[in-house]
Structure 1
Amino acid sequence: MLSAIPFPALPAPPSWFPGHMNRFSKQLPALLSRTDVVLELRDSRLPLTSINQNLEGAIRKWRAERGRDSAVIHTPSSTGPASPAVPGYGSTICERIVVLNKHDLVPEWGIEPFRKAMTSRFPDQIVHFASCNKPRDIRTLSEMLVRIAKTNVHAMEMNVLVVGMPNVGKSTLLNSLRSFGIAGRTPKALQTSAQPGHTRTLSTRLKISEDPLVYSYDSPGVMLPFLGKGELGAERGVKLALIAGIKESLYDVEALVNYLLYRLNILNPISPAYLKVLPPGAQPTTDVSFFLDQLADRLGMRIRGGDLDTPRAAKWFVEWWRKEGGLISATAPAKLTLPSTGSSDPLRRGWGFDFEWTTDSSTPTSSEAVEQKMGECIDEYMRISEEQERLGGAVSQTQEKKRSWQEKQAKRAAKSKAKLTARKNA
């Protein structure tokens, strides 16, 4: 058992914001003007980190323009997630559904506490967990969209805009929704890829329901222009690289393994998932070099001369976690059976990659207790994010210089225009 799990040293976050992301960000306000439902996808493993703060302002303005800036009333639904209140006669549909995709990669015991913690803090958002390989999840989401469309009987159709960070599964989800909402055989309408940045333009309208008529648009995944300063920005970048939300080539793979080792230890400090791929009898570790040596030896990965090929083992480990290890780590129990070592030291536990708290043998593991812990984590994350934004932490030094240069150019242009006007009037 690991009683102490030190936070790893992480590299500074890279900047990855291609031109197509910038173009879509500028188009978003106009797109929202003809949108009825915003379907925002996030990754269940990173439910906070995969929030795109750059989209928040445009969405808030859209809701305010529709007269929906106040809290949305939610009522219990027998199908799972809360249902939006039915708008009054003649009102415009304006709903925001946050879909936490790939929920089979997080422990089941934290799903409902997280939903409750989010709903109490963001009542204007409908939170729905889904996995595209779970037909029941897609059917529930499809039925939810149909119910929302039927609340405005005078509308000819309803338009859904799908947004989110790169590689959270937007195109895959829309293909799945289309197969449920359209009768008969439906061919795959949108191309998908395991690499971020595959969708570069707004898709054409895609019909996902015939009665009532519901259309959707797939959008490019939009990364944050700057991931943040200090430890928060460094951690955010590594997290996104691990779920392939940012180009993995921008990172040294050993840095990804180092952080992944840390998180798997937090999820289960007694029997972390990576023990499945180490030699029999191996013990939990926080030493990334020792871990990679063990792994390369177990896999028989050696270079010419017989030395261990640890870079190759590191790449293998990240891919193993994405395909198989994530499912194993999702089986971590809420209550760990602590070995009788006589130690009373508390443990660090977590859920996904965004939640972490201290626990011991006396800590309750009820749904209410977990909800409280998650609520504290959410409040702290939002507080830090708002503080960083207030202090300019959302803008890099390069972006600050560019913005300053643009402001100077604009002032020069205005000054020249004023002089020219004065000459003409003289």
Structure 2
Amino acid sequence: MLTHIPFPVLPAPPSWFPGHMLQFARALPGVLARTDVVLELRDARLPLTSINRNFEGAIQKWRKERGRVAAELPTDAAGPSTLALQRPAPSRGLVCERIVVFNKRDLVAEWGIEPFRRAMAVKYPDQKVFFASWNRQRDIKTLNDMLVGIAKSNPHIPEMNVLVVGMPNVGKSTLLNALRTTGIPGPTSKALRTSSQPGLTRALSNRLKLSLDPPVYSYDSPGVMLPFLGNGDPGAERGVKLALIAGIKEGLYDIEALAAYLLYRLNVLDPVSPAYLRLLPPGTSPLTDVYAFLDALATRLCMLQRGGVPDQARAAVWLINWWRSEGGLLAAAAPAPEVGAHAHRRGWGFDLEWEVGAGGAGVQDPTAVQKRMEECIDRFERSAAQEERAGGGVSATQEKKRVREELLAKRAARTRARLTARRGGS
């Protein structure tokens, strides 16, 4: 078992915020005005990092305009499904529901889903949480029934509109295609194009019918990245995480930096027998040095340069592609690691990790895991608030642009004032 897993050195995050993202972010309040249900998709592997706080202001304003405020719900032993349904009714007959869908649930370990669901119910009692994967028909059917149930409970509206939002490449278009196939009887053609690369959807889609009776329609939206990923280590780690799930345009990151962070995360997920060991010769022990690992992997795959030198760059590319296509499933399907005799780090997904003391509570104790996850959420919220206070959500370039725009606005105001004074004097 690995008892010490060093954190890798990560590069500063790049900026990737194309014009179509800014355009949709500005149009979001107007789109919400004709929306009844918001499906906010997040990646189950990054349940906290894939939160886009730029959506929060518009969504909270939408909820306020429709008379829906956050409910003060109990945080006792009631299950998350009970908590999610204890909400005030919207005023003026307007439907206002927000469902947070953690997509790609098949890529996270099953033992952590229920504890995390309960932790979310405690920390965010006003959010209805659902885990899904487009290739699990039971999940799609349950989510479709949830949307149809909301429509049937509001018979006063002639049709219900659903808006799907989220960061790039969290699976919005794929999930909508699956919902449409489930909700519409008979053969249904694929309505939305999908891609493994981010940024394919660049504009709000036409309305898609998800249900005939009651009529439920949906809009697909462009994935919107954060304009600035942050300063220091938090911003660097946030960028690498999003790059690993292909949420950032390919080529903006050094591939060996991604491999180093992936190695770290796979070690945290299973410090006893990480998923990558099946790629190496039998009997190989877990590794923490990325260069030693890439040498071993390149040798194993016969990726050698002239003179028999292992090709680390090719091995890093192969590793990332393996993890996205197969390794993620293997890591999620691995049995939950047992508590060892030594203190070590334990993780679930790429956002939650905690220290486990020798002989401490293991994954067999869901209550203890839930408590650890709640602590991770608290740390995330404190860190986000601290970044916000320190201006971490705005880059130096964006700050210079804002100052310049304010200066130009002041100059324009002074010019208008002088013109007005001259006209008044004459």
TM-score by length of 2: 0.95
What amino acid is the match of 1:352? G
- Give, in whole Å, the separation in 1 of the partners of 2:317 and 2:110: 28
Local SS of the residue matching 2:27: helix
Instruction: State how far apart, in whole Å, the 1-side matches of 2:225 and 2:80 are.
Output: 33
Letter in 2 for 1:309: D
Cα pair distance change 1:88/1:245, threshold 3 Å: closer
After TM superposition, list the pairs within 5 Å mapping 1:20-99 onto structure 2. 20-71=20-71, 82-83=84-85, 85=87, 87=89, 91-99=93-101
Question: Which string of whole-angstrom CA distances, capped at 9 and with x for unpartnered residues, describes residues 183-215 of structure 1?
Answer: 111000000000000000000000001111100
Task: Find 2:307's aligned residue among 302, 305, 308.
Answer: 305
Is residue 375 from structure 1 mapped to residue 353 from structure 2 by the alignment? no
Question: 1:90, 1:152 within 8 Å by CA — same for their partners in 2?
Answer: no
Task: Indicate yes or no: 2:355 matched with 1:353.
Answer: no
- CA 1:41–1:89 in 2, change beyond 3 Å: closer, same or farther? closer
Q: Deviations over 1:239-294 (max 9, x none)?
A: 00000000131000000000000000001111000001011111101100000000
Structure-to-structure mapping, 1:129-278, within 5 angstroms = 129-278=131-280
Task: Note the residue ranges of structure 1 that are not aligned, 5 or more in a row.
Answer: 339-343
Distance 1:263 1:65, change over 3 A: same
- Displacement after TM superposition at 1:120 (Å): 1.4
- 1:123 aligns with 125
**Structure 1 residues 110 and 410: alpha-carbon distance in aligned structure 2, compared to 1, 3 A threshold:** same
Following the alignment from structure 1 to structure 2, what is the Cα–Cα distance between the partners of residues 22 and 388?
A: 22
After superposing the two structures, state which structure 1 stretch, 115-124 or 133-142, moved more: 115-124
Matched residue, 1:341: none
**Corresponding residue for residue 412 of structure 2:** 413
Distance, in Å, in 2 between the alignment partners of 1:119 and 1:373 is: 14
The SS at the match of 2:333 is coil
Q: Whole-Å Cα distance in 1 between the matches of residues 298 and 355 of structure 2?
A: 33
TM-score (norm 1): 0.95
Letter in 2 for 1:268: D
Q: 1:328-367 counterparts in 2 under 5 A?
A: 328-336=330-338, 338=340, 345-365=342-362, 366-367=365-366
- Following superposition, the deviation at residue 303 of structure 1 comes to 2.3
Aligned-partner Cα distance in 1 for 2:90–2:41: 28
Alpha-carbon shift at residue 9 of structure 1 (Å): 0.5
The question of whether the paired residues in 1 share the 8 Å contact of 2:83 and 2:125 is answered with no
Any unmatched runs of 5+ in structure 2? none
Corresponding residue SS for 1:248: coil
**Which amino acid is 1:198 matched to?**
L
Please report the RMSD computed on the Cα atoms of aligned residues, expressed in angstroms. 1.8
Alignment CA distance shift 1:89-1:376 (3 Å)? closer
Q: Which amino acid aligns with 2:265?
A: R
Q: Partners of 1:68 and 1:253 in 2: how far apart? A: 45
CA–CA separation in structure 1 for the residues paired with 2:211 and 2:83: 20
| 1:81-127 Cα distance to aligned partner (Å, 9 max, x none) | 94465837862110110000111111101001111111111122110
Aligned to 2:296: 294
SS of equivalent to 1:290? helix
User: Which shifted more, 228-237 or 384-393?
Assistant: 384-393
- Find the residue that maps to 1:265 and give its secondary structure: helix
**CA offsets per residue over residues 329-366 of structure 1, 9 Å max, x none?**
1134444153xxxxx54100100000010113422231
Q: Give the conservation status (yes or no) of the 8 Å contact 1:203–1:218.
A: yes
Give a deviation string over 1:355-412, Cα, whole Å, max 9, x none: 0101134222311111000000001101110111121110000000000000000000
Pair 1:86–1:144, CA change in 2 (3 A) = farther
How many residues matched?
420
